[in-house]
Structure 1
Amino acid sequence: MTDAELAAFLAQEAGRMLLVLQQSGQYSGKDLGDEGDRIANDFLMGMLRMRRGSDGMLCEEEKDNLRRLDAERVWIIDPLDGTREFSEGRGDWAVHVALAVKGEPVVGAVALPGLGLLLRSDLPIWVPPAPERLRMVVSRSRPAAEAMAVASALDAEVIPMGSAGAKAMAVVRGEADIYLHSGGQFEWDSCAPVAVALAHGLHASRIDGSPLVYNQQDTYLPDLLICRRDHADTVLETLARVHPA
């Protein structure tokens, strides 16, 4: 099984397990979110240790092992991206499985179980053209000031949505055109979505235009821009104008 096939299998199976749990009625609220985090983490990390035990690993739900910094290949995992949405019974949550090689996100799979979808870096789909009026996805609970300012300047439609993976994949799927986030994230929030977005020919960078680099000692990676390549310069220039550093 190739790295990409493994990432897709793991994301899909963890997503299936989570969907069964969400629909079971056995847990609710915070208990549902906690149990979802636990079972997805146990499955994903157990399988990775069995299948790719010599690789480095970074996972939201596990204590960071800094030996990963000496590894060329590092799996970066978010077992349940959007725990709040999952615990509320919503569909805008995701499972992220990514492989970074020398800091670059080269393999990614993002499962959107609530939508019955799996997006993969090795099997890109067609990205529909953007409409005349652009659409920007933002956090449904904490829309970033920078994103709202850019949306206003571009007269873009604002679409509130849950998890980072769901927002990034909305751009890949053609349901949105820009995902600009500046409210704080970690490497596991964006690595798999960025790998998938890049494989689909999209632009992905920090909001100052610099590259996204993974497997760093400090896993905080606070901002992100995913959009079509032909919109990237406009978005970055608009951001610099309305929200100068």
Structure 2
Amino acid sequence: MPAPDTRTPTAQEDLALLCRAAEHAGEIALQFFRRDPKTWEKPGAGPVTEADYAVNSYLAETLQAARPGYGWLSEETPDNTERLDRDTVFIIDPIDGTRSFLQGSGSWAHSLAVAHRGQVIAGAVHMPERGFTFTATLGGGAWLNGAPLTASPRAALDGATLLANKFSLASKYWPHGLPPVRRHYRPSLAYRLGLVAEGRFDAMLVFRDTWEWDIAAGSLIATEAGARVSDRHGHALRFNTEHPVSSGLIAGGPAIHGALMHQLG
């Protein structure tokens, strides 16, 4: 009998695992899509559907069986402190954009990431209804369906395109004046980060506290495409923290990111 493989997987191997799992997760989710799935309200967190739970169950079983030494953090799994003792963890949002899923829109995604000692090293954002898969590994670039991604090189804030909800442009947030941008919106945070990585939008931001599972994969994809990604205060992101939230999120080409931070004071 051959000896068990005790070698530490590479980021590329982890990404391949994430992509295989995300593709099958999409097949599961599509069985419920536009078919009136059972839905519940999570207090203070919005809706969750039987599709979210089915995808989470599949991913938890498949990914943890493949990497039994990794910790686990998922929106749909009760959290515990065991993951804090692991150097490497999965950070998973089974369906990012559940409201979009329920509305029959295609702007929802499976967000799957692997973080090592607080830094994401592999990430996949898969959008089954649209046929998109954004991927990245640390130091390996960012890709959309195998094509390389480059974030927007735009330098001028005036007229830049910004993915944000309408409340983000309230004057109370901008002591140096409202940024002269053109606002757009997509419901999935993971998708917004992918769109910034793709260069289709110059930047995105969110001011509310943001769960790690919403942004882990997408933040790596945007960074590897050349965007700068930080919390709303300009601080670098860390993952697998005891309270797994970021103080908001700002992502964009380096010049636009800097200009937004200036406007924020």
TM-score where L is the length of structure 2 = 0.81
Q: Give aligned pairs, total.
A: 238
Provide the rounded CA distance (Å) in 1 between the counterparts of 2:200 and 2:38: 30
1:73-112 matches, cutoff 5 A: 73-112=88-127
Contact 1:29 1:88 in 2 (8 A): no
Q: Report the equivalent of 1:188.
A: 213
**CA separation of 1:129/1:222 partners in 2, compared to 1, >3 Å: closer, same or farther?**
closer
Amino acid at match of 2:52: D
Provide the rounded CA distance (Å) in 1 between the counterparts of 2:224 and 2:54: 29
**CA separation of 1:189/1:126 partners in 2, compared to 1, >3 Å: closer, same or farther?**
closer
Provide the rounded CA distance (Å) in 2 between the counterparts of 1:14 and 1:66: 26
Asked if 1:138 is matched to 2:138, the reply is: no
Listed as ranges, the gaps of 5+ residues in structure 2 are 1-11, 42-46
Any idea what SS the aligned residue of 2:32 has? helix
**CA separation of 1:208/1:128 partners in 2, compared to 1, >3 Å: closer, same or farther?**
closer
Larger Rg: 2
**Greater percentage in helix:** 1
Identity of matched residues, %: 26
Q: Report the equivalent of 1:3.
A: 14
Contact 1:144 1:181 in 2 (8 A): no
Contact 2:152 2:252 in 1 (8 A): no
Q: Report the equivalent of 2:4.
A: none
1:1-245 matches, cutoff 5 A: 2-23=13-34, 25=35, 27=37, 33-122=48-137, 123-124=142-143, 125-127=148-150, 129=152, 133-139=159-165, 143=168, 145=170, 149=174, 153-240=178-265
Contact 2:151 2:253 in 1 (8 A): no
Provide the rounded CA distance (Å) in 2 between the counterparts of 1:200 and 1:52: 27
Provide the rounded CA distance (Å) in 2 between the counterparts of 1:172 and 1:192: 12
Contact 2:232 2:247 in 1 (8 A): no
Provide the rounded CA distance (Å) in 2 between the counterparts of 1:147 and 1:121: 36
Q: CA RMSD in A?
A: 2.6
Any idea what SS the aligned residue of 1:162 has? coil
Listed as ranges, the gaps of 5+ residues in structure 1 are 241-245
Name which of structure 1's ranges 10-19 and 125-134 shifts more when overlaid on structure 2.
125-134
